[in-house]
Chains A and B, each alone.
Chain A
């Protein structure tokens, strides 16, 4: 069990640029979540996949955001035309077991800074 892996750890970009983050979940975890966290706040839900199907999206996920999990393994989160308000830590989490016993395991996150 190698844990959830996220890449890159840090990303600095200029406003208006596109960025893409990658998440590799724990092996055999079929659920994958994306969260966003800003300073002093708890993580906010963005979207979640069960295998390759994107089952839920938050209203926080504007049309500039898109997430994919093409083969039910790794996932990517793309932000187009970045804005300064997009600066945050983007956390990926995975889980194996659905139902009451479901628990989230997080990656180290990608810290995005939009200049």
Chain B
């Protein structure tokens, strides 16, 4: 079983739409969670950390459900510039110091 699983998409949404991505992780002892954004042929860049209480950064909201081992990312009022691949990342601290990445979810925002 993979450490982190994501729906690869693609998600094609019109500008202004709200879109949500989900991610599940297998290690219940995981302690740190993140969403990274990766543009085509570029490196991953940190979008936001995910906290148990949920957190928001502008149009982006991240949620963590430890009981279900589930992480989500909500993007409101989608912009063309949001088109990218969104990677769910979990730090499996008790199995070493590895950061485990999902395969990514592809988003295209259409004019």
Contacts and interface: CB of A to CB of B under 8 A. Distances in A.
B43 A91 contact: yes
Q: How large is the interface on B (under 10, 10 to 19, 20 to 34, 35 or more residues)?
A: 20 to 34
Contacts of B43: 91, 106-109
B12 interface: no
Interface in B1-60: 4, 8, 31-32, 34, 42-46, 49
Contacts of A105: 46
A45 B98 contact: yes
B96 A44 contact: no
A102 B100 contact: no
Contacts of B44: 43, 91, 104, 106
| Main SS at interface, chain A | mixed
A43 B101 contact: yes
A91 B99 CA distance: 13
A90 B42 CA distance: 12
Contacts of A74: none
Interface of A: 31, 33, 35, 40-45, 48, 55-56, 58, 91, 100-109
Interface of B: 4, 8, 31-32, 34, 42-46, 49, 87, 89, 91, 96-104
16 contacts: A31-B97, A33-B99, A40-B8, A42-B4, A42-B103, A43-B101, A45-B99, A45-B100, A56-B97, A56-B98, A100-B31, A100-B32, A101-B32, A102-B91, A103-B49, A106-B43
